Amino acid sequence: MARELLEIEELKTYFYTWAGVVKAVDGVSLKVREGETLGLVGESGSGKSVTALSTLRIVPRPGKIIGGRILYRGEDLLEKKENEMQKVRGKEIAYIFQDPATSLNPVFSIADQLVEVIRHHQNVTKQEALDKALELFRLVEIPDPEIKMWSYPHQLSGGMKQRIAVARALSCQPSLLLADEPTTALDVTIQAQILDLLKNLKEKLGMAMMLITHDMGVVAGVADRITVLYAGRVCESASTRTIFYNPLHPYTMALLEAVPSLALKRDKLKVIPGAIPNLIEPPSGCRFHPRCEFAKQGVCTLTVPPLTEMEPDHYVACARAGEIEAEPPLRAESK
């Protein structure tokens, strides 16, 4: 088994707002092994992005990391000084943002933006940096890179911009790529192109990736392991196959069944009642219990279920894990 590259332990990031303290990430633990792709799945407000932003310590105000450890190659990133962190950002761990339209600087040509990153981390001349940039544009399959590299972001389509963002993230050969919903803002056919590109590049360059998404379809094709988040906590963490074929947490099961499928047509979709809880005053005990059909009074409502290893490498945070089973039709037919 490969070594752990990134290990997040009991991470807590809170946002101190006027309305109260928003516990956006409240005790998240996860790991990314070298060379693997971890899919971080959850709905909006589940803390996916905040977890990734915390990893690079770029949580926007009024957010603050107030607890936990983030071990990267065994070193705690939370204890590093700001100038040491700057050497990690972009060079060791790179980030791709959700919306390519806002993550690129509109007043610089895309070549300049890449040169800036390359020269920040590597001791090279401008010409060498430009050559590197050109090479990267070829890597992310931009047509006519010699001409296109001097264009400005507004001259490019969404898919092209996201390719540039990928090129910029890869410019210093990071060991870990944090991709925050890299395809959500794109059309399906373009999404397929970008996912394909990420998958190929990951293999070519041997880096690890944390892919943040809300789309179970996206992770199924790309991720090796999946961690499911709900309301700032980890529900379940296991290999992709285990999550899809043998989920143990009721939220994971419900999430899989609530999505209309292309493969099989059901008369009615399974509904998760209610809505995502308010994170200023999250539900007591298990955060999913008000919406969970298996919740037990006195158990789920009171105690926070710890993340326990139910099977080798299959972690579940549910007091009733193992007692409940996913509805059979879904599993049987999809196999």
Partner 1 sequence: MSITTVLEVKNLVKHFPITARGILLKKQVGVVHAVDDISFSVNKGETFGLVGESGCGKTSTARAILYLDPPTSGEIYFEGEEVGKIFRSKDREAILRLRRKMQYVFQNPYASLDPRMTVADIIMEPFSIHGHVPKEKQHERLYELLRLVGLEDYHAERYPHEFSGGQRQRICIARALAVEPELLIADEPVASLDVSVRAQILNLLQELQQKLKMTYLYISHDLSTVRHICHRVGVMYLGKFVEIADTDELFNSPLHPYTQALMSAIPIPDPDAKSKRILLLGEVPSPINPPSGCRFQPRCIYVKEHKCVESSSRLVDAGGGHLVACQRT
Candidate list 9, 34, 43, 116; residue touching partner 1; CB under 8 A = 43
Q: Does 187 bind partner 1 (CB under 8 A)?
A: yes
Are 112 and 150 within 8 A, CB to CB? no
Binding partner 1 (rule: CB under 8 A), the pick from 126, 135, 266, 329 is 266
How near is the Cβ of 196 to partner 1 at its closest, in Å? Answer: 6
Distance from chain centroid for Cα 28: 13
Cβ-based nearer residue to partner 1, 233 or 291: 291
Beta bridge partners of 237: 227, 315
Q: Token digits for 273?
A: 């009642």
Helix (H) or strand (E) holding 190: helix 188-205
Query: Given the rule CB under 8 A, which of 83-91, 98-106, 166-174, 255-263 is the region that contacts partner 1?
Result: 255-263
280 lines the binding site for partner 1 (CB under 8 A)? no
Task: Give the one residue of 105, 146, 241, 280 binding partner 1; rule: CB under 8 A.
Answer: 241
Please give the torsion angle defined by the CA atoms of residues 261, 266, 271 and 272, in that order, rounded to the nearest 10 degrees: -40
Q: Which two tokens stand for residue 323?
A: 């007692």
Asked whether position 195 contacts partner 1 by CB under 8 A, the answer is yes
**106 close to 154: Cβ distance less than 8 angstroms:** yes
Q: Which amino acid is at 309?
A: E
311 binds partner 1 (CB under 8 A): no
- Considering only residues 115, 240, 249, 315, which one is a binding residue for partner 1 as defined by CB under 8 A? 240
Q: With beta carbons less than 8 A apart as the criterion, state whether 219 and 236 touch.
A: no
Query: Which one of 90, 100, 159, 250 is in contact with partner 1 (CB under 8 A)?
Result: 159
- The letter for the amino acid at 176 is L
Nearest Cα neighbor of 252 from 41, 52, 23 is 41
- In the range 63-122, which residues lie near partner 1 by CB under 8 A? none
DSSP secondary structure of 73-116: TTEEGGGS-HHHHHHHBTTTEEEE-S-HHHHS-TTS-HHHHHHH
Stretch that binds partner 1, among 80-88, 164-172, 254-262, 296-304 (CB under 8 A): 254-262
By beta-carbon proximity to partner 1, the closer residue of 95 and 251 is: 251
Asked if residue 273 has a cis previous peptide bond (ω within 30° of 0), the answer is: no
What interhelical angle do 126-139 and 110-121 show, nearest 10?
120
Q: Is 259 near partner 1 (CB under 8 A)?
A: yes
| 218 makes contact with partner 1 (CB under 8 A) | yes
- Residue from 2, 58, 271, 280 in contact with partner 1 (CB under 8 A): 271
Output the smallest distance, CB 231 to partner 1, in A: 11
Q: Is 144 in the site for partner 1 (CB under 8 A)?
A: no
Which residues of the shown chain bind partner 1 in the complex (CB under 8 A)? Answer: 43-44, 143, 157, 159-160, 187-193, 195-196, 214-218, 220-221, 240-241, 244, 254-256, 258-263, 265-266, 268-273, 275-276, 291, 334-335
